[in-house]
Amino acid sequence: MHSLTQEIKSFSRTNLRKQCTRVTTLSGKRMIETWKDARMQVVEVADCADGEACGYVQDLSLDLQVGVIKPWLLLGSQDAAHDMDTMKKYGVTHVLNVAYGVENAFPQDFIYKVIPILDLPETDIVSYFPECFEFIEQVKLKDGVVLVHCNAGVSRAAAIIIGFLMHSEGLSFPRALSLVKNARPAICPNPGFMEQLHKYHQCKNKNNGNLNDPE
């Protein structure tokens, strides 16, 4: 079990990156998550000024594009997870929410698993794999359809699915990355996650002697 408080406190100030993430609450308020002195600050904003970058999502349009990795495994943003029409369109039954501070929109309609993960290069994303993979595999066994999402659906959720494909399908990191990117072109795991996924591939390759899908 992870303690976000402990994880946050473990970061040194010099290691923290300047970054902000846009979050839209269920009430329609737009918030910006920023980091300062190892503490998260959430500020309500009306809009971003022209030309100002606010995390990965830099426009006000909803991102409802869903990456179909498998018929039962989907990747998307919080916008897709908060749009009932989109959820019904893809037959979603379960939701794996790996964002920080994003509410579950339809708790009466879908089965949720919430694993808050910080989108920072220093976050040990691999340590969250077992819990995430177990939930995804349970959904598959139940013939359900799971949507994995974070805030923008480009870093945390993408890294989890890439890792899952390497774990469950025996794919190499390049192959898994390519498959997920083809399904959802916007994905871009942060540099720390990319490095960890590459090492995860090397570790699996060493333990298994050979992956089914070589580089």
- Indicate the pLDDT class of residue 169, thresholds 50, 70 and 90: very high
Q: Which of 20, 54, 132, 150 is catalytic?
A: 150
Question: Which residue would you say has higher pLDDT here, 192 or 60?
Answer: 192
Q: What confidence tier does 43 reach under pLDDT thresholds 50, 70, 90?
A: low
Mean pLDDT for 168-175 is 96
Three-state secondary structure call for residue 106: coil
pLDDT at 38: 47
**Mean pLDDT, residues 89-116:** 97
For residues 41 and 51, the model is more confident at 41
Helix (H, G, I), strand (E, B) or coil at 51: coil
CB 94 within 8 A of CB 111: yes
pLDDT of 209 reads: 58
φ, ψ at 96 (rounded to 5°): -105, 105
Q: For residue 205, what pLDDT is reported? A: 76
- Which three-class secondary structure state does DSSP give residue 95? strand
Structural domains in the chain, CATH included, are: 67-208 (3.90.190.10)
Active-site annotation holds for 20: no
- Model pLDDT, residue 14: 44
| Residue, of 42 and 203, whose pLDDT is higher | 203
- Maximal CA-CA distance, the chain: 54
- Is 117's pLDDT higher than 80? yes
Confidence of residue 69 (pLDDT cuts 50, 70, 90): very high
**How many Å apart are CA 155 and CA 46, to the nearest integer?**
25
- What's phi and psi for 81, nearest 5 deg? -70, -20
Tell me the β-bridge partners of 41: 34
Kindly report which listed range (46-60, 119-133, 139-153, 173-187) carries the lowest average pLDDT score.
46-60
Residue % of the chain over a pLDDT of 70:
68
pLDDT of 25 reads 55
For residues 204 and 120, the model is more confident at: 120
- pLDDT band, residue 13 (cuts 50/70/90): very low
* pLDDT above 50 for 88: yes
